[in-house]
């Protein structure tokens, strides 16, 4: 960086154009608070990155309130229940009926496209391909960030800094080591996820628990399936041929009847199941949001929903500060978000242990897992408690 980079000022500097950063930028814009978004990857890359797909109703409402739900309302698939399969039996968990709240399937990359479209349309500042973001200072009254924008070295002075740069970003490390403490653990399995040009086996999600491992059937449209297989954690992503993947999915989802519709696999992803919670999500004028602060295993599809909740919370705190000069909501950001993150973590842990076969699992552990599934089928109280967590109602 040269001695005299171009100096710019902005109220809020947002690092990362994932769902958390983009939604925060949009919500701030609605409150008249100027921000700049700095994204390391290209626009094309972030718009094509296939990830989550299951949205809680409160997430849908957040996108509606942000005025970016036109396509979501048209193409999102409303779900009222899901199916759990185990030991040759199947039962439907009617979460809408049990809680009054449905879920919606709509791909994360579509949300990202909608938010980027809205940002560009309103001429909000957003930069892609910014590979050298450096947080130089996090102060009590503001922070300093250096990077190169359109070939020009710049120094951005901001009143607040929002670290929305995911698990591998730079923001977390800007909190001094002595102020940081975190919890992390990994599960002894991964998910091999595929996107396929094939109609889903069923219009509702199917979670299949088998002795061969877990499988999940989801979808992105009536003609596109999203499917996941539990695999060993270090399995190379291309180890299995497409035919082997379809065979294994059919074994786990239908008991090998050959009823699973197949088609061309257009995407593969390997997701290691792990968890991370950063106990310090704010330091002076820096705030961490979404995956930068906490990641959950995907079993309960909570990661994206938690990122959206963080963006709403911080936007509310900043709006309150700029309108009233009071910091109380901002100061409460960490404790509120952390409480919610631990609830999300706890349910994700529950779903993970309910659905997966652990290597070296004892017969007794397997029997207890079956008993837990059986309880969900037999007890409406257990099913309702589960459903409230699944749809996100019971998270604070
Ligand atoms: P991200 O979406 O990770 O966005 C962070 C952004 O910051 C990225 O665009 C990144 O390029 C950018 N960035 C990183 N470093 C820098 C830097 N130094 N400078 C500038 N920009 C930077 N959740 C589910 O609920 N269900 C799923 O099935 C599911 N599948 C997943 C599959 C994969 C492979 C992964 C990685 C995650 C998955 N998740 C899933 C989790 C979910 O997608 C995340 O919780 C969600 O993306 C979090 O949003 P975010 O905005 O916090 O972070
Ligand atoms: C999807 C992902 C999940 O992790 C999940 O639990 C349900 C659905 C999906 O990608 O559609």
| DSSP string of 322-360, one letter each residue | HHH---HHHHTHHHHHHHHHHHHHHHHHHHHHHH-PPTT
Phi/psi of residue 359, each to 5°? -60, 135
User: What is the predicted pLDDT for the residue at 280?
Assistant: 95
Ligand 2 pocket check for 301: Cβ under 6 Å: yes
Which of 130, 165, 195, 214 to mutate to test ligand 1, by most ligand atoms within 8 A of the CB atom? Answer: 165
Asked whether 275 and 185 are in contact (CB, 8 A), the reply is yes
Per-residue pLDDT tens listing for the chain (396 residues): 566 799 999 999 999 999 999 999 999 999 999 999 999 999 999 999 988 899 999 999 999 999 999 999 999 999 999 999 998 889 999 999 999 999 999 999 999 999 999 999 999 999 999 999 999 999 999 999 999 999 999 999 999 999 999 999 999 999 999 999 999 999 999 999 999 999 999 999 999 999 999 999 999 999 999 999 999 999 999 999 999 999 999 999 999 999 999 999 999 999 999 999 999 999 999 999 999 999 999 999 999 999 999 999 999 999 999 999 999 999 999 999 999 999 999 999 999 999 999 999 999 999 999 999 999 999 999 999 999 999 998 887
Ligand 1 pocket check for 274: Cβ under 6 Å: no
Asked whether 204 and 82 are in contact (CB, 8 A), the reply is yes
In angstroms, rounded to a whole number, what is the distance separating the alpha carbons of residues 167 and 176? 17
Q: Relative to the alpha carbon of 145, which ligand is closest?
A: 1
Ligand 1 pocket check for 51: Cβ under 6 Å: yes
Q: How far is the CA of 5 from the centre of ligand 2 (A)?
A: 44
User: What is the predicted pLDDT for the residue at 17?
Assistant: 98
Q: How far is the CA of 212 from the centre of ligand 1 (A)?
A: 29
List the catalytic residues.
Answer: 79, 207, 298, 302, 390
Which of 296, 298, 305 to mutate to test ligand 2, by most ligand atoms within 8 A of the CB atom? Answer: 298
Ligand 2 pocket check for 107: Cβ under 6 Å: no
Name the strand (E) or helix (H) holding 196: strand 182-197
Both structure tokens of 169: 């970003």
User: What is the predicted pLDDT for the residue at 3?
Assistant: 66
Ligand 2 pocket check for 163: Cβ under 6 Å: no
User: What is the predicted pLDDT for the residue at 4?
Assistant: 77
Ligand 2 pocket check for 79: Cβ under 6 Å: no
User: What is the predicted pLDDT for the residue at 2?
Assistant: 62
Ligand 1 pocket check for 290: Cβ under 6 Å: yes
In ligand 2, the atom with minimum distance to the C-alpha of 51 is 10
User: What is the predicted pLDDT for the residue at 88?
Assistant: 81
In angstroms, rounded to a whole number, what is the distance separating the alpha carbons of residues 52 and 105? 9
Nearest CA to ligand 1 atom 52: 290
């Amino acid at each position: 960086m040269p001695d005299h980079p171009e100096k710019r000022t902005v109220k809020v500097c947002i690092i990362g154009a994932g769902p958390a950063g983009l939604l925060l930028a949009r919500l701030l814009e609605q409150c008249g608070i100027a921000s700049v978004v700095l994204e390391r990857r290209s626009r094309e890359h972030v718009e094509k990155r296939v990830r989550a797909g299951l949205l809680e109703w409160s997430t849908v409402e957040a996108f509606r309130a942000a005025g970016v739900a036109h396509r979501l309302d048209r193409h999102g698939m409303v779900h009222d229940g899901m199916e759990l399969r185990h030991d040759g039996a199947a039962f439907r968990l009617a979460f809408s009926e049990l809680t009054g709240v449905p879920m919606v399937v709509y791909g994360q990359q579509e949300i990202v496209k909608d938010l980027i479209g809205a940002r560009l349309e309103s001429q909000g500042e957003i930069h892609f391909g910014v590979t050298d973001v450096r947080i130089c200072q996090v102060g009590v009254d503001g922070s300093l960030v250096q990077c190169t924008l359109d070939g020009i070295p710049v120094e951005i002075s901001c009143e607040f800094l929002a670290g929305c740069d995911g698990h591998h970003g730079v923001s977390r490390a800007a909190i001094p080591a002595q102020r940081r403490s975190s919890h992390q653990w990994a599960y002894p399995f991964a998910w091999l996820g595929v996107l396929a040009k094939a109609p889903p086996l069923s219009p509702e999600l199917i979670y299949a628990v088998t002795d061969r491992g877990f499988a999940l059937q989801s979808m992105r449209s009536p003609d596109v399936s999203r499917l996941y297989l539990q695999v060993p954690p270090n399995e190379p992503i291309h180890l299995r041929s497409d035919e082997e993947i379809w065979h294994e999915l059919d074994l786990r989802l239908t008991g090998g009847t050959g009823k699973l519709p197949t088609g061309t696999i257009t995407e593969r992803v390997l997701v290691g199941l792990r968890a991370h919670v950063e106990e310090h999500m704010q330091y002076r004028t820096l705030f961490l949001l979404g995956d930068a602060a906490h990641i959950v295993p995907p079993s309960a599809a909570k990661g994206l929903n938690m990122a959206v909740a963080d963006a709403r919370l911080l936007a509310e705190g900043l709006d309150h500060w700029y309108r009233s000069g009071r910091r109380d909501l901002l100061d409460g950001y960490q404790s509120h978000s952390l409480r919610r993150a631990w609830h999300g973590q706890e349910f994700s842990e529950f779903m993970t242990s309910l659905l997966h076969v652990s290597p070296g699992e004892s017969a007794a552990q397997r029997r207890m897992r079956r008993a837990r599934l059986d309880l969900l089928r037999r007890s409406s109280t257990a099913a309702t408690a589960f459903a409230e967590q699944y749809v996100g109602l019971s998270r604070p």
